Amino acid sequence: MSEILNSLFESLEPQVLATGYVFAEGPVWHPSGHLYFSDIRDSKRCRVDTRTGIVELLAENTFGANGMTFNSNGELVYCQMGKRRVAAVSETQEIVVADSFDGKKLKAPNDIVPHSDGSLYFTNPEGRINGDDAEIGYSGVYRIATNGEVVEVCGGMNLPNGLAFSPDESVLYVSNTRPDPKMYAFDMQTDGTASNQRVFTEMPLVNSSEKNGVPDGMKIDSAGRVYCTGPGGVWIWEPGGVLIGVMEFPELAVTKNIAWGGDDLRTMFVTGHTSVYSLRTTTPGTPLPVFA
């Protein structure tokens, strides 16, 4: 492990925070000290008290809810793949945030992030919805404005998955899972769309008994470093695209997504298939705008 990678963590031993899940995903931290996460294949939503380790089952039959975040009202928002929509929990009721673009049904929203202007950005990849059911015939990233309008941000990817903004929100990063695993970067425009698509970095597929995974969920730290789950653990790059290294995880954990948390935002939470892990970092992550 490189000295630079080593310097980013207080400890190189990921701690198990919760375990026993089928496909843990979509972590998001709340200042109450709770980490919310999805179990996609078991269609459950849970949260764990990061101070006590107590896990609560919040919802069942979530229709494959995946990536989650909080909107400007502090409501939990999630990509509900099985219902082909973005939804939110308002008090005790589920409300539809977005289910179509230009009159066409969404495919299967995967991951979602907030912007400081109150809008939400989500990936809408191909793969799960095909043929006549695919009213939108390509993959893309979309923006939900504060008035509910859904606009296309960018396309040109096979299977966009995770996404994250640079600390100043001038750059949007999007991981492309397959068939050509790589990460793209886009310049953000004043109207909320993106331009100047370019390859930020390649991430090779690794199919072995020791290192499984694909480019998936991602986050950016306050120094602009890019963290993305992938083969063997969490891959980390400098803002310029130079690979720092891979933070490895145990149990053949197919790492899926990342969240920053803790009062100082120096705890990195990682969903690793059957388990949820935590690691202390030396650089804070970027906060969700609603909690900044």
Instruction: Enter the tokens of residue 217.
Output: 């969920």
Region of poorest pLDDT, from 163-167, 198-202, 211-215, 217-221: 211-215
163 beta partners? 174
Identify which of 273, 279, 259, 254 has the alpha carbon closest to the alpha carbon of residue 218: 259
Q: Please determine, for residue 206, whether its predicted confidence score (pLDDT) is greater than 60.
A: no
The pLDDT value recorded for residue 38 is: 97
Q: Please determine, for residue 208, whether its predicted confidence score (pLDDT) is greater than 70.
A: no
Instruction: Report yes or no: 17 and 34 within 8 Å, Cβ to Cβ.
Output: no
Task: Return the DSSP state at 83.
Answer: G
CA–CA separation, 243 and 12 (whole Å): 18
Q: Please determine, for residue 109, whether its predicted confidence score (pLDDT) is greater than 90.
A: yes
CA–CA separation, 280 and 292 (whole Å): 20
User: What's the CATH fold of domain 3-291?
Assistant: Neuraminidase (2.120.10)
CA–CA separation, 260 and 164 (whole Å): 12
Domain ranges of the chain: 3-291
User: What are the backbone dihedrals phi and psi of residue 168, each rounded to the nearest 5 degrees, phi first?
Assistant: -95, 5
Helix (H) or strand (E) segment spanning residue 275: strand 267-280
pLDDT tens per residue, range 35-75: 999 999 999 999 999 999 999 999 999 999 999 999 999 99
The pLDDT value recorded for residue 209 is: 45
Instruction: Report yes or no: 147 and 167 within 8 Å, Cβ to Cβ.
Output: no
